[in-house]
Chain A
Amino acid sequence: MTLALLRRGLRISLGVAGLLVASTLSAAAQDPDPLGKLEQNNRVTIELLLDSAKVAGLPSQPLLSKALEGIAKKAPGRNIVDAVRKTLGYLRTARTVLGTVDDQELVAAAAVIEAGAKPNHLEQFRPRKKGRTDIEAFIVWADFLQRGVPSEEASTAIARLWQDGADDETFRSLWSNVQADISQGLNPGTALQNRIREAPGRASPVTVKPPEGQQENQSSR
């Protein structure tokens, strides 16, 4: 009887082990087609968007990356297509406003527009010294918008710092101080106004008045 139990237990164990190994192997298997997990119609649409980017002289890698991000985060196919289409639109807008810049700056500018910046605010970044990059400024700008700093205030503050010749470290320091103030409960717009006065570029305080209801005590998002 014990032998029978033993054999039965072993059979069950081996069966479960087989299932485990099979599921593990299938999970680990690499799909050679990065978009292979999408439905056919969504996949075709995204491939068309990638081709459109290439034809327009825009980088297609950010679009592919957006699609892969959506797949990795298990977003519905339609949402992934929408996200890729919007990203293409942001890249087009950024190119129109900034002119000829390298792909990395274009991607960062597109991220700022996606975060809620108005395209005309980007125009102030068009003239630049050779070799100067605006990526850090765009990253801080996008973050401020996401944290609830009013678009006009964030745009004006970042643009003025940029025009005053602020370097990457200045932008990082500004971000660090503002996010610390916001996490303490300060209104995001007020936090930026307070900290921009301390910035080495000494940009003038922004005069845009925050909308009603966004004064002190507004909790950060």
Chain B
Amino acid sequence: MNEPKVAITVLCAALLIPAQRELAAQVASKIEAGQYTVSDGALPLSAIRLAPTVQFEFPHATLKARGSAFVSEQTLQLADGIVSGTFTSPTVYGVRAEMIGNASRAVDDRSLGTDQVDVQTRIHFRFHEHGGLWVGGGVARPWRVAVFSAADVTDAGGWAKLGGPTAKFGVATLTATFTNFAFTKIASVHDTGSAQLSCAAGGAAVSNRTPIINAMFSESGATGACERQSRFGDLEGSLHWEVGSLELTAQMGRRFGDSYDVTDDSRQWTAATATVWLTDRIAIVGGGGRQPALPLRGLPARSFGMAGLQLAYWPMSKSAVPVSLPRAPLVKSFEMRPSAPGMHKIVIRVSGVETVDVMGDFSDWSPLMLARRGRDLWELSVPLSPGMHQINIRVDGGPWVAPPGMPTARDSFGGEVGLIGVPDKASH
């Protein structure tokens, strides 16, 4: 039980180290702490939940580490940690490829815990600026989950985005996903009627069981075990709604599969979370609902209620949809002000986006990515010599536009550029 405690402690400590602003990657982090009540069929258990996250964002890759620990009466009830990496290809004609790798560990005080490695690829198709589809597939390899050996995961989904940052009702993103899990399961003839049928129908006898599986079957006295190919599917719809300082996220889902693979408590689920941002970096979070079992990770279905505080040093991308949106929502404000000698700081406020870039004569017209410094705050320092400079900005890889709130001119290529004058101190 010490191992996850150490991991969570290290992750929390990492959040307190201010990252160098000149790092090639953007660094974002947040920590959520609060009261959490969970019930998996037994008596409700109240615990303090600590959930740190650190994320490094590169132009075409993201590395993320996150964890959660539930502490009750000085005892660690459940710890869950995941490290993930995502590579994304450039978008070509609205198509983008994505590869995701995850390594995770969950430790429960009532079980051995689980480890899992999974790799998944996705192809995204974007239609205009307000919707898209994706299809994907991959493999998951759980360890220490006694009844699973491997799983093939395929998924497909679609999303639609309504409204905009300046719309009266804010931005709403609707997502629908279907995920199919095809896996090999170790069944015992003593389990259920369907398992007996499965084994009787020719399921291969378990001959290459891992030591842990062998131990499990010897402990439970289960004989006549067989390998059984099986599958279930999850259909989930979700809504993410942002209006002003309020964010609402709700999910509703249903699991399909026979009763041997899908327990009654995981047939359907509903959950909702509300986040109210008090400042750029502090939010109150509350929610509740039901989560289905995650068989591959050995986590049971459970009902939960939570209320807590979120401290976001450099808040995470919300990623309501699984692919960045190449659109140009209205930027709330744009500001350039002198910082260090010869340097100007660009400060942009725009919410609901994943990336913000600038380019201009000062960068030889190469895009420079801004770093997220708050919920809707993006910053970058650039060298500017005295004189007139031209600048363009873009969000989420969309079209280059002139920043708002500054003089503009046509750019010779059918677009516009922003104009900024940097005075020569010697002349004033």
Q: State the A residues within 8 Å of B (CB).
A: 1-3, 5-6, 9-10, 12-13, 16-17, 19-21, 23-24, 27-28, 34, 62, 65-66, 68-73, 75, 79-80, 82-83, 86-87, 103-105, 107-108, 111, 114-115, 131-133, 135-136, 138-140, 142-143, 146, 168, 175
Cβ-defined contact, A28 with B152, below 8 A: no
Cβ-defined contact, B427 with A2, below 8 A: no
Stretch at the interface among B69-77, B85-93, B257-265: B85-93
| B387 neighbours in A (Cβ, 8 Å) | 103-105, 107-108, 135
Nearest to A132 among chain B residues (CB) is B427
Report how many residues on chain B are interfacial, defined by Cβ distance under 8 Å.
Answer: 55
Stretch at the interface among B239-247, B272-280, B319-327, B360-368: B360-368
Could you mark each residue 33-59 of chain B with 1 if its beta carbon is under 8 Å from any beta carbon of chain A, else 0?
000000000000000000000000001
Given contacts A72-B365, A138-B388, contact A13 B413 (CB under 8 A): no
| A21 neighbours in B (Cβ, 8 Å) | 87
Stretch at the interface among B217-225, B282-290, B334-342, B402-410: B402-410
Answer yes or no: B213 CB below 8 A from chain A CBs: no
| A70 neighbours in B (Cβ, 8 Å) | 412-413
Cβ-defined contact, A23 with B90, below 8 A: yes
CB distance from A116 to the nearest CB of B (A): 9
| A62 neighbours in B (Cβ, 8 Å) | 361
Given contacts A2-B149, A28-B60, contact A20 B99 (CB under 8 A): yes
Cβ-defined contact, B426 with A131, below 8 A: yes
Cβ-defined contact, A140 with B407, below 8 A: yes
Answer yes or no: B203 CB below 8 A from chain A CBs: no
Cβ-defined contact, A143 with B408, below 8 A: yes
A51 to B427, CA, bound (A): 31
Residue of A20, A75, A131 most packed against chain B (CB within 10 A): A20
Residue of B182, B359, B367, B388 most packed against chain A (CB within 10 A): B388
Partner of A143, one of B139, B407, B427: B407
Cβ-defined contact, A10 with B119, below 8 A: yes
CB distance from B98 to the nearest CB of A (A): 8
| A114 neighbours in B (Cβ, 8 Å) | 409-410, 412
Cβ-defined contact, B365 with A68, below 8 A: yes
Cβ-defined contact, B388 with A73, below 8 A: no
| B359 neighbours in A (Cβ, 8 Å) | 72
Answer yes or no: B333 CB below 8 A from chain A CBs: no
Given contacts A68-B365, A69-B365, A140-B407, contact A24 B152 (CB under 8 A): no
CB distance from A109 to the nearest CB of B (A): 9
Which 4 residue pairs across A and B have the least CB separation, nearest first? A104-B387, A143-B407, A83-B412, A72-B365
